[in-house]
């Protein structure tokens, strides 16, 4: 692995305006894969955004869904995943060596018609970090951040993922070995995982994902502490929300912003960054 620069004991500030590649570059390459992450780096993102799950044998891997998704993933044989068989392919019920055999990039995904098709797999988090760090070094690029979502819900404990404390411990074990904690943000809709993280690893940055219409105060009260980042659906952004968050020293980085017009509008409003499936649009944003 390419080593992180020798600032492991320090926590540098987040980018002034954070350009994040959602699931790497989902609009252009298969989501949550090494090729998608490297494409995002090529396009100049300052943060790689990704989703984490845990396999049956305790490996931390990248995937948004808790199962093999029939919409854009294939069986190891290359055949379609029957909708009625989805429950057979829950990631938390499969060892990683089995998960790795599924093809997650060769099937056309109509939601993202520009996505380049290629045979690829769900990678381990450690593979993503190693590949990304090697790419940065090879191309003499500045260090990026890693924004990692814990994909969990109370109803999914023990079925789709481990309980919050084990989830966080397994995730953090990888990140500590890779020595990248100064460049990590852990995000979640599930306040439980963020609470465990804040209690056990208070130095690590957190981001509260939000899709509800509760006030900032209500959501922070449920969380129980002040996160580094507040990350709502972009349609929930208002000047009042931005002002309230900034008054508390919280950055606001909305998701998932996929048009240049919306990016420009949100930047003018004063958001602190963007999360997009199309990080190729960022270059045009910077020119405007």
pLDDT averaged over every residue in the chain:
96
Quick: pLDDT tens for 6-65. 444 579 999 999 999 999 999 999 999 999 999 999 999 999 999 999 999 999 999 999
Distance in angstroms (rounded) separating the CA atoms of residues 177 and 197: 17
Please, where are the H alpha helices in the chain? 34-42, 96-99, 125-138, 164-177, 191-200, 216-223, 239-247, 260-269, 282-287
* Domains located in the chain, CATH noted: 18-287 (3.20.20.190)
Rounded Cα–Cα distance for residues 59 and 243 (Å): 40
Question: Which residues have CB under 8 Å from 208's CB, separation 6+?
Answer: 187, 188, 191, 194, 219, 220, 223, 227, 229, 230, 231
Q: 184 pLDDT exceeds 90?
A: yes
Task: Give residue 286's pLDDT band: very low, low, confident or very high (50, 70, 90).
Answer: confident
Q: Give the total residue count for the chain.
A: 288
Query: What is the token pair recorded at 115?
Result: 């996505």
Answer for the pair 91, 59: CB distance below 8 angstroms, yes or no. Answer: no
Q: Any idea which residue has 């602190």 for tokens? A: 272
Give the separation between CA 266 and CA 19, rounded to whole angstroms. 13
Tell me the mean pLDDT in the region 127-148. 98
**Rounded-to-integer distance, Cα 146 and Cα 267, Å:** 22
Measured CA to CA, the distance from residue 126 to residue 138 in angstroms comes to: 18
pLDDT at 1: 41
pTM to 2 decimal places: 0.96
CA dihedral 97, 101, 104, 108 (to 10 degrees): -170
pLDDT of 8 reads 47
User: Does the structure show a pLDDT above 70 at 219?
Assistant: yes
The reported pLDDT for the residue numbered 228 is 98
What's the confidence (pLDDT) of residue 287? 75
């Amino acid at each position: 692995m390419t080593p992180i620069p020798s600032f492991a004991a320090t926590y540098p500030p987040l980018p002034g305006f954070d350009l994040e590649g959602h699931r790497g570059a989902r609009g252009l390459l298969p989501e949550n894969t090494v090729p998608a992450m490297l494409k995002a780096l090529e396009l100049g993102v300052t943060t790689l955004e990704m989703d984490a799950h845990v396999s049956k044998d305790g490996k931390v891997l990248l995937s948004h869904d808790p199962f093999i998704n029939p919409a854009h993933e294939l069986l190891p044989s290359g055949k379609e995943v029957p909708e009625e068989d989805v429950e057979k392919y829950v990631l938390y019920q499969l060892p990683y060596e089995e998960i790795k055999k599924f093809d997650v990039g060769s099937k056309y995904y109509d939601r993202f018609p520009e996505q380049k098709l290629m045979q690829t797999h769900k990678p381990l988090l450690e593979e993503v970090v190693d590949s990304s760090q090697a790419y940065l070094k090879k191309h003499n690029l500045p260090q990026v951040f890693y924004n990692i979502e814990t994909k969990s819900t109370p109803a999914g404990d023990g079925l789709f993922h481990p309980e919050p404390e084990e989830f966080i411990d397994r995730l953090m074990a990888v990140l500590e070995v890779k020595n990248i904690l100064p460049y990590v943000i852990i995000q979640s809709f599930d306040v439980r995982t963020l609470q465990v993280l804040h209690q056990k690893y208070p130095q690590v940055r957190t981001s509260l994902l939000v899709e509800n219409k509760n006030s900032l105060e209500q959501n922070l009260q449920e969380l129980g502490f002040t996160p580094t980042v507040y990350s709502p659906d972009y349609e929930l952004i208002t000047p009042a929300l931005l002002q309230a968050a900034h008054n508390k020293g919280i950055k606001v980085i909305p998701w998932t912003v996929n048009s240049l017009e919306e990016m420009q509008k949100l930047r003018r409003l004063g958001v602190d960054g963007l999360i997009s499936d199309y990080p190729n649009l960022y270059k045009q944003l910077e020119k405007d």
